[in-house]
Amino acid sequence: MRLLYVHNDYGSPSGEENAAQAIGNLLEAHQHEVFWLRRSSAEIVGSIAGKFKAFLAGIHNPFAARAIAKELEEVKPDIVQVQNLYPLLSPSIFRPIKERKIPVVMRCPNYRLFCPNGLHLSKGRLCESCLGPGRELWCVLKNCEGNLPKSMGYALRNAWARMSGSILRNVDMFIVQTELQKQKCSQRGIAESRIGIVPALVCCKGFAEPGDSGDMVTFVGRVSPQKGYCGFTGRC
């Protein structure tokens, strides 16, 4: 199988990039061919012009659509797997894929399909305001990104994707990491038959067998409120 993996990397290395690479490596280990189309948010870090470009590109990016059309012609994949679309790719990449009748799988490691910041958290507390009246406007009212223009950009691109149906209509299969995520996506209108579960991958090579750790806990990951670190320590 030939697979084209499409992903917008974050401005600094994150778990999403590691997970995407782990999936790609696993597929290649099983004799599949994996090709990549990637952009990086590092391209716009510290640039006002870049941030304005990202504001517009998150809604529609014809250049990304042309780039993927070129890649599709060269690679001729059997399937396309999409992960993060924002801010430099946008849902505009789906049209060239669907014109060629290539199936699309989308990996969803967060809740960005329904929540502009992808976390369903506001000031460290569970928040699902964007699912009710007002929808994405709550991202602006609560300033979920701590930066009003950024919160507005996040809200606008999510609102456009939802109202146009550009993601839900064009993705054949969604991949989530847990049963809870599957339930949440199903409750929000995605048929269960279109949702698969692929847990987060961890390479265990070189790890020692677990032993009696007593009262000690080891946390491996980015130290941030959404990871629950503050709940363990009372501070962050």
Give a yes or no: residue 81 inside a domain: yes
Separation of alpha carbons 86 and 64, rounded Å? 11
For 43-86, what is each residue's pLDDT tens digit?
Answer: 888 778 878 888 889 999 999 999 999 999 999 999 999 999 99
- pLDDT confidence bin for 124, thresholds 50/70/90: confident
Domain that holds residue 194: 1-112+167-203
The count of domains in the chain is: 1
CATH number of the domain where residue 85 is located = 3.40.50.2000
What pTM was computed for the model?
0.86
Give a yes or no: residue 215 inside a domain: no
Give a yes or no: residue 220 inside a domain: no
Give a yes or no: residue 225 inside a domain: no
Residue labelled with tokens 């989530």: 176
For 142-181, what is each residue's pLDDT tens digit?
Answer: 999 999 999 999 999 999 999 999 999 999 999 999 999 9
- pLDDT confidence bin for 15, thresholds 50/70/90: confident
* Predicted pLDDT at 209: 67
Give a yes or no: residue 2 inside a domain: yes
* Predicted pLDDT at 206: 63
Give a yes or no: residue 35 inside a domain: yes
Give a yes or no: residue 161 inside a domain: no
Give a yes or no: residue 79 inside a domain: yes
